[in-house]
Amino acid sequence: MRLIVGLGNPGARYERNRHNIGFMAVDRIVRRHGFGPFRSKFQGALAEGEIGGERVYALKPQTFMNASGDSVGEVARFYKIAPPEIAVIYDEIDLAAGKLRVKRGGGAAGHNGIRSIDAVIGEDFWRVRLGVGHPGVKELVQPYVLQNFDAEEIGWLVPLLDAVAEALPVLIADDAPGFMSKVALILKPPPPKPPRADIENKD
């Protein structure tokens, strides 16, 4: 059993914010893998489905970002899902826009949603960081992440979300390097190989 969590803030006001990229990713995953509808449970919006033969729950906490751990903790306790079976998808300002990094465990790096989850279930869960870029000045970080993605950013955002959803079965199998590689290949497939010369027909 697995739990995939997307972080964000609830409500139409925040729907397209950079801070809500986790919600956007979970929505794509639910659609891509044919999950059931979201239901209001455990202080969140929860959907369930199957990926790679394994039961998977998809969660969008509705507690607001700073209290995300309350919702995640409730789901994890009820379904007895251990931290290593949980993956949290969220925005990362210290990654270039459109970049992806995954690791299990580690610190919150100033992300309040991750800090909240760490405090409730510990640090030993998968962190799927989606780069949204940095505004360049620390004082501008909060307004920056609470702004909507602009038209230019949609050009990399939509393919990234689709690639994450498509490659997710690899992460479900606990293969983080393979997951990152598959996302990269989906986003930038190798050029086709040139046709081989037919050496057998040469005189």
**Domain residue spans of the chain:** 2-201
Distance, first Cα to last Cα, the chain? 62
Which residues make beta-bridge pairs with 87? 4, 126
Task: Quote the CA–CA distance of 152 and 132 in Å, as a whole number.
Answer: 12
Taking residues 178-189, what's their average pLDDT? 96
- The pLDDT of residue 196 is 75
- The pLDDT of residue 198 is 59
- The pLDDT of residue 201 is 54
The yes-or-no verdict on residue 60 having pLDDT over 60 is yes
Task: Quote the CA–CA distance of 54 and 1 in Å, as a whole number.
Answer: 6
The yes-or-no verdict on residue 91 having pLDDT over 70 is yes
- The pLDDT of residue 161 is 98
Which residues make beta-bridge pairs with 104? 126
- Percentage with pLDDT > 90 across the chain: 90
- The pLDDT of residue 197 is 63
Bridge-based pairing of strands 126-131 and 86-92 is parallel
Residue 109: pLDDT band with limits 50, 70, 90: confident
Task: Quote the CA–CA distance of 71 and 41 in Å, as a whole number.
Answer: 9
pTM value is: 0.93
User: Is 134 assigned a catalytic role?
Assistant: no
The yes-or-no verdict on residue 190 having pLDDT over 90 is no
Residue 170: pLDDT band with limits 50, 70, 90: very high
Residue 194: pLDDT band with limits 50, 70, 90: confident
Contact present, 75 and 121 (Cβ < 8 Å): no
- Percentage with pLDDT > 70 across the chain: 97
Phi-psi region of 10 (alpha: psi -120 to 50; beta: other; left: phi over 0): beta
Chain mean pLDDT for the chain: 94
Which of 164, 86, 153 has its CA nearest to residue 123? 86
Task: Quote the CA–CA distance of 181 and 169 in Å, as a whole number.
Answer: 13
Catalytic member of 19, 33, 111, 134: 19
Sorted by sequence, the CB contacts under 8 Å of residue 36 that are 6+ apart come out as 47, 48, 49
Between vectors from CA 201 to CA 198 and to CA 203, what angle results, nearest 5°?
125
Please give the CATH topology (third level) of the domain spanning 2-201.
Rossmann fold (3.40.50)
Residue 30: pLDDT band with limits 50, 70, 90: very high
